[in-house]
Structure 1
Amino acid sequence: MMCVAAVDPGRDKCGLAIVKEDDATLFRRVIRTAELEAELSAAQKTYAFSALVLGNGTTSKQAESRIRKALCMPVHVVDEYRTTELAKRAYWRIHPRTGWRRFLPATMLVPPEPVDDLVAVILARRYLAAKKESQEMRSTEE
């Protein structure tokens, strides 16, 4: 089964996630941008992912250049539109609100920790969904 790594690039920190084709998240973490190559190399040894997905945010060009030098594999750039908003919602599903926070919409609350890792999971799932849709379209054309 195919496995992909996804990176939500940032100036100081990045989200890193490893997601399988069946949507299972094997790994997710917020890492320092300075440690991106080392973290990806370690994850490659552990999870043997076959492709890397990169969000198209502000620092994506620099991140893509660094990743291409560190790993010999395809890098697929994916649109980051609304991923932070979706990641915040996912955070509150994973960590349900307690006390008075339960009465406020999740969109009004800021998670107490970075959600870059959840953004990376969303990017990986977007890539895998697009790839699956593309394969299905090709098979119906044949």
Structure 2
Amino acid sequence: MIVAIDPGSDKTGVAILQENGKLVEKKIVMTGDFSACLEEIYAHFPITHIVMGNGTYHKVLQPVVENWIRQQQNPILFVLVNEAYTTVEGRKLYWQYTPRHGWRRFVPLSFQYPPEPVDDFVAWIIGMRYIETLGGK
């Protein structure tokens, strides 16, 4: 399994993908709770790769992840992924998977922002970018 991370100062997007790109789970966690989130994921899924967006906050979260990896018995590969424009792509992906209701149906998407954070969708995109570098999907 691949754990993809969109690191942020307050909240962090997390997506768990199979190596063929199929999304297993996604969520947003408070950045301060991220280590506990990794433990929870590791208890339920066989993690082989952790990929993280290389945006500004990765410099704070990367050492946390690398330290956590060193404490595990199984080898886990850690890779940084270029996250340029992933927020814009995450908004588009959000609308693909979240039906619009009420007035939102009548306003063009180009004029709308999702009404909730999209960090989990951004993490999913980061994971897909990584899989593309492996020649998958």
TM over 0.5: yes
User: 1:74 pairs with 54, 74, 77, which one?
Assistant: 77
Residue 41 (structure 1) shift: 1.6
Which residue of the partner structure matches residue 61 of structure 2? 63
CA deviation profile, 1:11-30 (whole Å, cap 9, x unmatched): 00000110012221111000
The CA RMSD over aligned residues, in Å, is 1.3
Normalising by structure 2, we get a TM-score of 0.89
CA distance in 2 between partners of 1:21 and 1:69 (Å) = 24
Which residue of the partner structure matches residue 102 of structure 1? 105
Structure 2 residue runs without a partner (length 5+): 71-75
Larger helix share, 1 or 2: 1
Q: Which runs of 4+ in 1 moved over 4 A?
A: none
Taking the TM superposition and a 5 Å limit, the aligned residue runs for 1:98-137 are 98-132=101-135
CA distance in 2 between partners of 1:91 and 1:34 (Å) = 25
CA deviation profile, 1:28-72 (whole Å, cap 9, x unmatched): 000000011110121012111101000011110111111111123
Report the secondary structure of 2:135's partner residue.
helix
CA distance in 2 between partners of 1:107 and 1:6 (Å) = 27
Which residue of the partner structure matches residue 14 of structure 1? 12
CA distance in 2 between partners of 1:108 and 1:121 (Å) = 23
Taking the TM superposition and a 5 Å limit, the aligned residue runs for 1:32-43 are 32-43=30-41
Normalising by structure 1, we get a TM-score of 0.86
State percent identity of aligned pairs.
Answer: 34
CA distance in 2 between partners of 1:126 and 1:107 (Å) = 24
Structure showing greater Rg = 1
Which residue of the partner structure matches residue 140 of structure 1? none
Structure 1 residue runs without a partner (length 5+): 134-142
